[in-house]
Amino acid sequence: MYGNEITGKIIQAAIEVHRILGPGLLESAYHDCLKHELNLMGLEFESEVSVPINYKGLNVGEAYRMDLLVANKVVVELKSVTKIKDIHRIQLLTYLKLANRNLGLLINFNEILLKNGVKRVVNQF
């Protein structure tokens, strides 16, 4: 399965969760429901994946946990904030670099229309 196909399915799952729950809940509720929806769709994923950092030979260990890694290709960062800011996209780009992945989705469930809260981020390496 290619990246665009995977992101399409993730967005479809997120829209279903948002359609049923609506905006205004904690990120953890959306996270659990999205994991369930991805399971129902038969997508393989890992949740809360630890990403170690090696800084000039120093192993920082668990410096970051990816919300979701879908099909071992797409990093998904979930938010439930008033508005996605540039720093959120930049953070996801940093996570992509640290995890050696090139495609990510930033999904903010705190939107009236979820499509307004979905941002695709690409790491050009």
3-state DSSP assignment of residue 29: helix
* Dist CA 12 CA 7 (whole Å): 8
Lowest mean pLDDT of 1-5, 15-19, 87-91, 96-100, name the range: 1-5
What predicted TM-score, i.e. pTM, was given to this entire model? 0.93
Query: pLDDT above 70 covers what percent of the chain?
Result: 99
Domain ranges of the chain: 3-122
72-118 pLDDT, tens digit per residue, is 999 999 999 999 999 999 999 999 999 999 999 999 999 999 999 99
Map 46-97 to HEC letters.
EEEEEEEEEECCEEEEEEEEEEEEECCCEEEEEECCCCCCHHHHHHHHHHHH
**Fold of the domain built from segment(s) 3-122:** Endonuclease; Chain A (3.40.960)
